Structure 1
Amino acid sequence: MSLSSTIVKFLTLPLTTANYREQPRRTFLAAGVDAFLLGFLVISVMLLSVLPGLPPLDVVTDYQPKIPLRVYSADGALLAEFGEEHRDFVPIQDIPQVMKDALLAIEDSRFYEHGGVDYRGVARALVADLTGGFHQGASTITMQVARNFFLTREKTVLRKLTEALLAYRIESALSKDQILELYMNQIYLGQRTHGFASAARTYFNKRLPELTVAEAAMLAGIPQNPAKRNPAVNPVRAKARQMLVLKRMLQIGKISEAQYNEAVAQALKVNDRQLFAVHADYAAELVRQELYAQYKGDAYTRGFNVYTTLIAAEQNAAYNSLRSNVLAYDQRHGYRGAEDFIELPDDEDERDDAIDRILAKHPNSDNLIAAVVTEVSAKRIRAEPASGDTIEINGDGLRFAARALQTNARPDQRIRVGSVIRASRDGKGRWMIGQMPEVEAAFVALNAEDGSYRALVGGFDFARKQFNHVTSAWRQPGSSIKPFVYSAALEKGYSPATLVDDVPISLPGGENGQAWEPQNDDGYDGPISLRRALARSKNIVAVRLLRAISPQYGRDYLQRFGFDPAKHPANLTMTLGSGSVTPLQMAGAYAIFANGGYKVAPHLIQKVTDARGNVLRETPPPPVRQDEQRVIDSRNAFIMDSMLREVAHSGTGALAGARLGRPDVAGKTGTTSDAFDGWFAGYAGNVVAVAWMGFDQPKSLGGREFGATLALPIWIDYMRQALAGKPLSERTPPAGVSFVDGDWMYDEFNGEAGIKTLDITAPSVQPNDAIIQPLSGG
């Protein structure tokens, strides 16, 4: 074994008191010899082992902090962060003096005096080590920078020597302010947070300049042990450490006695709110996917800032509306029983461990808190959530699950000790029993003029299911497809006043060789105008109308609105919604009626900047509309708008007009066969929005459920926020339309042709009538 390897082996022994105490007592002379030899060995190790292996300093001289990808709303609300580290880089001149004073007071009060290694601190630490173990205190800020960037935290003499040498090199390469800047932006401070700017936001929801002396002292105490000293995890230890920082600041004159007393007395409120005040997980994931496709792993470290087109208040309104109405549907259809069950051990520690394990499988869903029942009777439930608090539910809070509390309840539904349940607070703070819904929903809102997203909610809970129903769920649209068939009919000479015979019809092509006999949900009216037929979502009229213009023409016409013809059959069931669409497609299609006939391209990202604020990409303002962007005649859009307003005020969507109290509200309900899907698509002003509800594995939503009961309430609750304070949208009749006998029509069809009754004496069967499955609308 070489001399250098022997020295290295000796000097890599852990620095513990035992290493010294196990040595036999020596004479004073022997101790002096040992000290000389130790010094010689140190110099040898430095020459033979440490210096050749010192890493280059470019990682600190050319510091590139790992700053996460951040996603913002159009009005500046932080929506999401993607990256392993939460970090904000702040130049040293922008870090407040109180934060620097607090940190240096406890970590390195002689930082601006020493040359990288504080020999006084080393001597203190050595004495402490010889008398009672290794203590923090020897490492300067510069040495900690060396350790954080280059070394492990292993406590050996060799590592400490390497740290000291690196500290000298760093001090020769950087100024004191540059070193402190590195440290205060790089240091880990718990909760996946790096740097004091991010810590201020994480723990106190503040910017650095807004911190009080007490808050700065609390943050300065974290680096010593981020796992145990951060106030979110251990407020007691964090408070004790904060007191040490404040005493040290007072001792070295960084704060006055009055400031000290005020800081000690200040009750700190550690941020217990979610880091992101706006619920936009599905939209943020779309952004992440797009940035990753372009930049790969760099997307998470280069500090990109993405500004979306979402409006924060509208996004939260959409999120809250979707969740509350999904839960309302779930309440209408009864309690299904506890989510899970566990036998609770008698031993208290084992019991707590068992509760923690099972609740880890049932994470909270926003305000739906998972808890394990510890006591239960017909009048009261006591349950323990993951926080360790006790939830007590009684009175009206038990009503939803009252049957499950009876002794004769079905075993798979009965709530007993060990059951995993859900609870949420009502408006008065009282606990109520609930459950995670099985049904899913989606909501999307666009600016009808330029296609920018205003709100997007892809499902009930992103943490439970990342599938984005807005962009990826292909579902049958039901009667929400009818307006596009009606729009096609206007181009064939029909008008809102055209009469169609609303009587039963029998056609070939049904299941098992039987006739296909589509039905209305509300009976039959005989001759009825197209305006009233659309308002009341008459299936028979829609079938007769498509027969008149031909399924092939109707299918081709759908392409104007962005629908994929391959997803829609070229037969009569198309008019009842037997094809497939996504909610996003529907929003883009209805935008054409809302904006006067122009197709828009939905877009989510408004601007992307780098960490320094340089604009990398920006969506330009929408250009002046050109004729090539027009996909339907302005006359067609005007007349269809008037018919869709009728739906929203006197038809199946009348709840929209009544609740919102605006004459410019327009839209259409949709319900598929056996209520597998519920839709509402509509608009007012320049806001177009679509709501959908259904099961991922399609099944009936219930015999008394329709688009008007399922999706329309979601749409209304969102629109109440989106339209607040906005002026009414008035439509000016375009050239080429006339108001004749109480309704609008194209001028070239003015006369008997324009108000003709669709030929109800025509044969019931036409050559191209081919039916593949029965559907119903509504």
Structure 2
Amino acid sequence: MIRLLKFFWWSCVAVFCGLLLGLSGAFLYLSPTLPSVDSLRSIQLQIPLRVYSSDEKLIAEFGEMRRTPIQFADIPKDFIQALLSAEDDNFANHYGVDVSSLMRAASQLLKTGHIQSGGSTITMQVAKNYFLTSERSFSRKITEILLALQIERELSKDEILELYVNKIYLGNRAYGIEAAAQVYYGKSIRDLSLGQMAMIAGLPKAPSRYNPLMDPVRSKERRDWILGRMFRLGKIDETRYKAALAEPIDARYHVQTPELAAPYIAEMARAEMVGRFGSAAYTDGFRVTTTVPSDLQLAANKAVQDGLISYDQRHGYRGPETRYPNMTREAWLQELPKYRTLGSLEPAVVSQVESSGILVLTRDGKEEAVAWDSMKWARPFINSNSMGARPQKPSDVVQVGDLVRVQRQEDGSLRFSQVPSAQSALVSLDPNNGAIRALVGGFAFEQSNYNRAAQAKRQPGSSFKPFIYSAALDAGFTPASLVNDAPIVFVDEYLDKVWRPKNDTNTFLGPIRLREALYKSRNLVSIRLLQTIGIDYALNYVSRFGFNKQELPRNLSLALGTANLTPMEIVTGWSTFANGGYKIRPYLIQRIESRDGEVLFTANPPSAAAATQDAEPRTQTAEEATGGSGADEAKDPQAPAVAERIVDPRTTYILTSMLQDVIKRGTGRRALAMGRGDIAGKTGTTNDSKDSWFSGYNADYVTSVWAGFDQPETLGRSEFGGTVALPIWMSYMSAALKGKPEHAPAEPDGIISLRVDPVSGRAAPPGSPDAYFELFKSEDSPPPMSEIEPGMSAPGSPLPSDEAAPIDLF
């Protein structure tokens, strides 16, 4: 018997020594390859890129992982107890490895021949999640154990738990408990009930199996088991235990929806961040604050969508997007989710047609009424210039099973509509520094993510003429200069063909003052101006505004806006008119912060306001001058960068006065409804009405709007810049300027106002009938009529009188 006991004793010692030697050998073999546990203190978890408006409204989030790290002090005690009860109830007592759990896992392996559980503690899971793969092997398990022992020696229990809860995957792209709480319950982990916390605590074991969205029954069983463990371990009392068990399974999918719909802005910010930081932009937790206020962006969204819908409905109804006749209500509900809401237009299936209107089935399963009054516009579309007969009843428009679009009104009612086939873009800047205040690149980003505001190059038509007029004013012309509005034929060496330009009305007014020619948008006057000042001079002059000289047509058609330019390029050039002659560059990102709140970048754009305040100019480096955002990084917040002056301020002041007349008495008269005297602008319409433009400003905002088709085609014979683009501009600018006092550019020194004879354009003597006041640069003021002698230049003309006289009619 004694011999048997001795044998058993020495056998146990041998096994123990063997295990000890094996572990020691494994440690000596693996320890050189073990990563430094100290790196856990500075670990950088993946956090998505978040983009915000200037007033801190979330615009978008970019990144594969949804994660919001939380500090240990902010984790509710109930959640910690629920997690430990589920995953590692001996966490407070062990030193990284729980021998009983490992023995239990080994026993399961011997019985079944398969690994049932790893026997891992939370510390071992931290080691695996941060340093190892999910490979199931003995070598990896030994490495995991060794790392866990090191982690316990170097980190506190609180630090280990904080690392664990912020790293674990909990389903639906949620990493960490705070992200999971937001995804499943739409609120912070601190605001969850005991039952909800137990539900989250049950996910680490198997996020797909115990997911409350995928399998509510199994997830409830897991939750109740955890609550039972908490009760048996004395972590909660019976009252709380029973109350938590009675809680319903109320988890549902919560996506962190943007607080501000600005997808084109979000994409521009994302692209710039990737350009700056590469793929780290998606994972390093950057917080980007843009220059866009939420109220202006919402006004821009509404203006573009309402303007396109209004244009679209003027040209008739193109029919349903598709038809689902002879189908059940349940079948319709299965089809509707295939169609996304575009802009403000929801998909719906016509379920009933009555004499007073129709009933439609929406995606949420509700049947709602659409009044006949909202359908009367729906004459059959034939082409952009013609429509069919006006409908007399709802059945003339739709049939049961038609998939249509409806627009929800402020009172909750539905209006019949359709997705516009035309597109539009709007860009609004602060003319003083180029800050983008609003941008819309199309009717709906979900329909097309093509950013027409920044990417679509289209002919600006007459909205380009102010650049030619500005060049002429700087060349010595005045608003009172007379130019002949008469037919002309050119054989242009660059066009290599005969060109007979004409006005859009096919009428001719003869000798006409520049001011009147601009607000009446006379094409032939613009051409004669360009012919007089010269192509080379004009190209060099216009390129100051930021246009690529190589991309501008080197012929007289430049005067009619035949260059291909984006709305962003146009609005940038127009900013010079609004700010008194300074060149600015558009920029979008105002500030970039790190995950820790450290400010990494603050925009310091070249500013016209800084120049007018007599700030000392700051020389820009080559890197700053070519910065991607259009704004310079602030090195000294007290020394703002000064914008470069590119145009005489008197020129922009006089041109603004002329452009104000476009609204008071010209092609932009519709804008008089805004009731403001400080706005100036110009319409633009290209041949066959393929492109519609309006650009305009006061001293606070400069905004350009384009509307047309992606594949150029006519908007219709009665559609122009003043009917399509201008209403969109008015809607946005009315909202942007609401409640703001009138703010026109200040008058610079060197401007004089003289009474001018309307026929001759010369300074009128006292008592002259019909004389009016005109603005001039002091050196360009016309002489009195009595001082004009033969051979002198015509009023305000930079050329000899024989060259400046009105060209003979053909």
TM-score (norm 2): 0.75
- Structure-1 separation of matches of 2:90 and 2:652: 75
Structure 1 residues 129-278: aligned runs within 5 Å: 139-149=120-130, 167-207=148-188, 209=190, 216-227=197-208, 275-278=257-260
- Residue 749 in structure 1 maps to residue 780 in structure 2: yes
Aligned to 1:5: none
Which of 40, 59, 64 aligns to 1:79? It is: 59
> In the alignment, what sits opposite 2:695?
681
Counterpart residue number, 2:552: 568
Shift of 1:332: 2.9
The one-letter amino acid paired with 2:654 is I
1-structure distance, mates of 2:317, 2:593: 48
User: 8 Å contact 2:350–2:403 — kept in the other structure?
Assistant: no
Q: What are the equivalent positions in structure 2 for 1:27-46 lying under 5 Å apart?
A: none
**Corresponding letter in the other structure for 2:748:** P
Q: Please name the residue that 2:94 is paired with.
A: 114
Aligned partners of 1:383 and 1:392 also within 8 Å = yes
Q: Is the 8 A contact 2:492 2:555 kept in 1?
A: no
Q: Shift of the alpha carbon at 1:738?
A: 0.7
Check 1:162–1:556 CA distance in 2 against 1; reply closer, same or farther (3 A cut).
Answer: closer
How far did residue 632 of structure 1 move? 0.6
* Aligned counterpart for 2:596 among listed residues 595, 604, 612: 612
SS at match of 1:192: coil
Q: Using the TM superposition, give the Cα deviation of residue 254 of structure 1 relative to its aligned residue in structure 2, in angstroms.
A: 5.2
State the partner residue of 2:34.
56
The equivalent of 1:462 in structure 2 is 445
Name 2:385's counterpart in structure 1: none
Q: Using a 3 Å threshold, how does the CA distance of structure 1 residues 101 and 590 change in structure 2: closer, same or farther?
A: farther
Q: Find the counterpart in structure 2 of residue 762 from structure 1.
A: 807
Deviations 1:262-316 (A, max 9, x none): 8766996867565222233333333333333343323322223333222233223
Aligned pair partner of 2:705 in 669, 691, 700: 691
Contact 2:126 2:164 in 1 (8 A): yes
Identical residues among aligned pairs (%): 39
Q: Superposition RMSD on alpha carbons, in Å? A: 4.6
Q: TM-score when scaled to structure 1?
A: 0.78
Aligned partner letter, 1:309:
T
The 8 Å contact of residues 318 and 443 in structure 1, kept in 2 or not, is answered as yes
Asked if 1 retains the 8 angstrom alpha-carbon contact of 2:370 and 2:416, the reply is: no
- 1:586 to partner: Cα distance: 1.0
Q: How many pairs align?
A: 714
Task: Call closer, same or farther: CA 1:402–1:183 in 2, change over 3 Å.
Answer: farther
Distance 2:720 2:201 in 1: 58
Asked if 1:709 is matched to 2:754, the reply is no
Q: Is the 8 A contact 2:679 2:744 kept in 1?
A: no
Counterpart amino acid of residue 533 in structure 2: I
Distance 2:498 2:35 in 1: 82
Alignment correspondent of 1:652: 667
Partner of 1:550: 534
Per-residue deviation at 1:732?
3.2
Q: Quote the Cα distance in structure 1 between the aligned partners of 2:26 and 2:169.
A: 27
What is residue 662 of structure 1 aligned with on the other side?
Answer: 676
Partner letter of residue 693 of structure 1?
Answer: A
Matched, 1:636 2:614: no
2:659 maps to a residue whose letter is L
Residue identity matched to 1:454: R
- SS across alignment from 1:679: strand
Among 457, 474, 478, which residue is 1:474 paired with? 457
**Is the contact between residue 189 and residue 195 of structure 1 (CA under 8 Å) also seen in structure 2?**
yes
What is the deviation of 1:513?
6.1
Relative to structure 1, is the Cα distance of residues 148 and 673 closer, same or farther in structure 2, using a 3 angstrom cutoff? same
- Any gaps of 5 or more consecutive residues in structure 2? 1-7, 382-388, 612-616, 618-641, 756-772, 784-793
Q: Give the Cα separation in 2 of the matches to 1:345 and 1:43.
A: 72
User: Quick check: 1:280 aligned with 2:258?
Assistant: no
Q: How does 1:502-513 map to 2 (within 5 A)?
A: 502-507=485-490
Aligned to 1:772: none
The answer to whether the 8 Å contact 1:480/1:669 transfers is yes
Q: Decide which moves more: 66-75 or 671-680.
A: 66-75
**Pair 1:644–1:182, CA change in 2 (3 A):** same
Q: CA 1:620 to 1:262, structure 2 compared with 1: closer, same or farther past 3 Å?
A: farther
The answer as to whether partners of 2:429 and 2:702 remain within 8 angstroms in 1 is yes
Q: Give the alignment of 1:370-385 within 5 angstroms.
A: 370=347, 380=358, 385=363
The separation in 1 between residues aligned to 2:103 and 2:397, in whole angstroms, is: 68
Measured after TM superposition, the shift of residue 49 of structure 1 is 11
Alpha-carbon distance in 2 for matches of 1:708, 1:86: 46
For residues 226-275 of structure 1, the C-alpha deviation after alignment (integer angstroms, 9 at most, x for no partner) is 34655666677767766666666566565677777887669968675652
Hey, what's the Cα distance between the residues in 2 that align with 1:159 and 1:390? 55
| Residue 334 (str. 1) matches residue 365 (str. 2) | no
The separation in 1 between residues aligned to 2:133 and 2:352, in whole angstroms, is 52
Tell me the residue number matched to 2:759: none
Given that residues 103 and 217 in structure 1 are in contact (C-alpha distance below 8 angstroms), is that contact kept between their aligned partners in structure 2? yes
Residue pairs, 1:450-599, within 5 angstroms:
450-507=433-490, 516-521=500-505, 523-525=507-509, 527-599=511-583
Q: Secondary structure of 1:700's match?
A: coil
CA contact (8 A) 1:68 1:87 kept: yes
Structure 1 segments unaligned to the other structure (5+ residues): 1-31, 766-778
Letter in 1 for 2:598: N
Do the aligned partners of 1:70 and 1:80 also contact (CA within 8 Å) in 2?
A: yes
Distance apart, 1:69 and its partner CA: 2.6
CA distance in 2, matches of 1:725, 1:120: 73
Q: Write the letter of the residue equivalent to 1:365.
A: L
Note if contact 2:353-2:400 (Cα within 8 Å) is conserved in structure 1.
no
**1:649–1:273 Cα change, 3 Å:** farther
1:377-406 deviation digits (Å, cap 9, x = unpaired): 576565575x7x4665644476676869x9
Shift of 1:114: 3.3
Once residues 259 and 635 of structure 1 are traced to their aligned partners in structure 2, the CA distance between those partners, rounded to angstroms, is: 78
1:10 corresponds to? none
| 1:374 and 1:384 in contact (8 A); partners too | no
